[in-house]
Amino acid sequence: MKNILKFMFVFMLVVSCEDDLDINTNPNVPQDVEKRYVLSAAEGSLATVLGGTLRNFGRLMAQYHTPSPSASQYLDIDTYNITRGYADRMLTEL
C-alpha cells in the first residue's frame, strides 16, 4: 500500500498542471500587439478633452444645461468664473 501511495505521489509531481494554472501571465495585458491595434495616448487624450471637457464647457456656456444649486462640479463655469488655470488644465490633459 505504501508503494502505491509513493507511486501516486511521484506521478502527481511528474504530471503537474503547470500550464493550466499559470498565474504569472495576464491574459488581459498582451505582450506583443500590432501597431494598428494600439490607440496612441495623444489620440485618447484628444478624444477625452474634446468629447468631455470642451463639450461640457460649451453646453454650460450656452446654457443647454446647468448644474443643480447644491452641486459644485461646474460651479466656476456656471458663474462665469473661468480662470486661466481652467484653460491650462484642459491643455495639460492633451
pLDDT tens digits, one per residue of 39-87: 777 788 788 878 887 888 888 888 887 788 788 788 888 888 888 887 7
Show the domain range for 60. 45-94
Please indicate, yes or no, if residue 37 is contained in any of the structural domains: no
Residue 65 lies in a domain: yes
Whether 93 maps to a domain, the answer reads yes
Average pLDDT over residues 24-37: 77
Q: What's the pLDDT score for residue 14?
A: 62
Q: Please check whether residue 62 lies inside any domain of the structure.
A: yes
29 found inside a domain = no
Given this model, what pLDDT does residue 61 score? 83
How far is the CA of 37 from the CAs of 7, 30, 43, 46, 73, in angstroms?
A: 50, 12, 13, 18, 35
The secondary structure of 24-53 as a DSSP string is: SS-TTS-S---GGGPPPHHHHHHHHIIIII
Does residue 63 belong to any structural domain of this protein?
A: yes
* Residue 64 belongs to a domain: yes
Residue 71 lies in a domain: yes
The tally of domains found in the chain comes to 1
Residue 10 pLDDT exceeds 60: yes
Given this model, what pLDDT does residue 94 score?
A: 59
